Amino acid sequence: MKVLMHMCCAPCSIYPVDLLLAEGYLLEGLFFNPNIHPREEYEKRRENVRIYSDIKNLKINYIDDFRQKDWESFDGQDPARCAMCYGIRMEKTASYAAANGFNAFTTSLLVSPYQKHDLIRELGEKYSEQYGIKFLYLDFRPGFRQGQQQARELGLYRQKYCGCIKSNHITYKNL
C-alpha cells in the first residue's frame, strides 16, 4: 500500500517512518506546516526533515506555504486553534494523497503524547471520507521516546514546542 505521511518535523517522523517501512508500506512524506512560527523555526524544521529523508532515502514532497500572518491574526484559543491547525494539515495531506495516487495517508503528529489524538483521528477520518482515501490511523506514541533518542543520536534539531505562535512559550518536559 502506498502511504503519504504528513511530517511535522524530523524527530516525530523517525518512529513512524521506521515502523511503516518495516511493515512493508511504500512510503513518501509530505512537509506542509503553515502553522510553524516564526519563519526561522519553520526553516529549521524543513531542513531537518530534508536531512532525515536523505538518511532514510525517503522521498519528501514539500508544499511551502508559510502563513505566519494567519496565525498572528487568529484570536481563537485551544481547542479551536488546534482544530484549525490540525485541520489545515490533514485536509492538505488527504487532498494531496488522493490527487497523487496514494492509497492512504497518515501523520507523524500521532507519535506525540502532547498532541490531541482524538481530534487528529476525527479530522483524518473526516478528510478520508471527503477525499475518498483511507486514513491510516496508527497510535505511534509507544515509540515517541525511541524516536527522540534516535534524533539526538543523528544530531537532528529537536524543537521544544508544537510550532504555533501560542505554543512557542511552552516548554515540554523530557523531550
pTM over cut 0.95: no
Q: Could you tell me the residue ranges of all domains in the chain?
A: 2-169
Q: 2-169 falls under which CATH superfamily? A: HUPs (3.40.50.620)
Q: Give the three-state DSSP class for 167.
A: helix
Is the model more confident about 114 or about 79? 114
Percent of the residues in the chain that have a pLDDT greater than 70, as a whole number: 82
Please state the rounded mean pLDDT for residues 150-166: 75
| Strand partners for 6 | 30, 107
Condensed to tens digits (0 to 9), the pLDDT of residues 28-40 reads 999 999 887 788 8
pLDDT at 20 over 50: yes
Is the model more confident about 9 or about 84? 9
How many beta carbons lie within 10 A of that of residue 55, not counting itself? 12
pLDDT at 172 over 70: no
pLDDT at 25 over 60: yes
b/e per residue 143-164 (b: at least 16 CB within 10 A): bbeebbebbeeeebbebebbbb
CB 64 within 8 A of CB 50: no
Please state the rounded mean pLDDT for residues 35-62: 93
Let me know the angle formed at the C-alpha of 82 by 78 and 87, rounded to the nearest 5 degrees.
145
